[in-house]
Copies of this chain bind each other. A is one copy, B any other.
Amino acid sequence: MSSLAEELTHTEEEVVADARPEELRLLEALLFAAGEPLDEKTLAARLPSGTDVRAALRRLQTEYAPRGVNLVRVGNKWTFRTANDLAWLLTHEAIQPKKLSRAALETLAIVAYHQPVTRAEIEEIRGVTAAKGTLDVLLEVGWIRPRGRRKAPGRPITYATNEAFLSHFGLETLLDLPGLDELKGAGLFDGTLPAGFSVPAPSDDPALREDEDPLEEGDLDIGLAPRPTLED
C-alpha cells in the first residue's frame, strides 16, 4: 500500500476502493467507538506510529462529506455527527392527546364570544382573577392570539381567536358560533337568565376596533405570544 501522503497527491483516478489505506479503517473505528470527540494527539497515540493523522482525518472527512454521517471538528477534536441537513430525521414527533382544563375551556369560550377581550374583562366575566395562566395555555395551544391593545388605562392586550381555532372546532367563521337562542334551544341555558342577558355576536373582522391600538413591537416576544410555528 502506498503511503497516505503520496496517495493524496495522486490524481483521483488512481485511487480505488481497494487501495483505501488501513489507517482510514482504524480512524473510523476509533472515532465511531469513542464516547467523546478525540483530539489529534489522542488519535495519533492509538494509531500505528508514523501515521499522518491530520492527512487521514482530512481524507476521511472528504469521504464522509456526502454521507448521512459527517466527520466534523469540534474545537480541536474530531467526531462523527449526523449530517446537518438530516436533523429532522432524528426528531420524532409523538402525538400526545391532551384535554383542556375546564378553566382553559371556559376562558377560550369567553375569548371566542367576547373577542376582542382583555384579560381583565375575562376575569370580570368569569368572576375569578387567574386568567393569565389559562391565557398562556391557550396561546400555547395556539387557538388564540393577541390582536391589539385596548385604548384604556394600562393599555391591556386584547385577545381574539385565530384560524386554528376555527379549524379545530369546524367553524367557517365566528358567525357560526351559536347565539343565545340557539344555546337555549340546545338546552345549554336553563331559562332562568336575568332580563337583558345577552350573548355577543363576535366578528372575524381583523380590523382593529375604535378602542384598540395595534400591538407594538415586542408584544409578541414577551412570552404571551404563541410559538410562531403553532399558528398556521
> Measuring CB to CB, which residues of chain A are less than 8 angstroms from any residue of chain B?
1-13, 15-18, 20, 24-30, 32-35, 46, 59, 62-63, 65-69, 80, 82-83, 86, 89-90, 92-93
A63 proximity list for chain B (CB < 8 A): 5, 8-9
A17 proximity list for chain B (CB < 8 A): 10-12, 66
Contact A90:B8 (CB < 8 A) given known A67-B25, A67-B28? no
A29 proximity list for chain B (CB < 8 A): 68-69, 82-83, 86, 89-90
A28 proximity list for chain B (CB < 8 A): 67-69
The 6 residue pairs across chains A and B that have the minimum distance between CB atoms: A29-B68, A25-B68, A28-B68, A7-B12, A8-B63, A29-B82
A-side interface mostly: helix
A46–B92 touching, CB < 8 Å? yes
Contact A32:B65 (CB < 8 A) given known A11-B17, A12-B4? no
A16 proximity list for chain B (CB < 8 A): 10
Contact A25:B92 (CB < 8 A) given known A8-B62, A12-B7? no
A30–B89 touching, CB < 8 Å? yes
The interface centre, meaning the residue of A5, A9, A33, A65 with most chain B CB atoms within 10 A of its CB, is A33
Closest chain B CB from A226 CB (angstroms): 26
A69 proximity list for chain B (CB < 8 A): 28-29, 32
A2 proximity list for chain B (CB < 8 A): 62
- When C-beta atoms are compared, the residue in chain B nearest to A27 turns out to be B68
Contact A32:B82 (CB < 8 A) given known A12-B7, A26-B68, A67-B25? yes
A9 proximity list for chain B (CB < 8 A): 63, 66-67
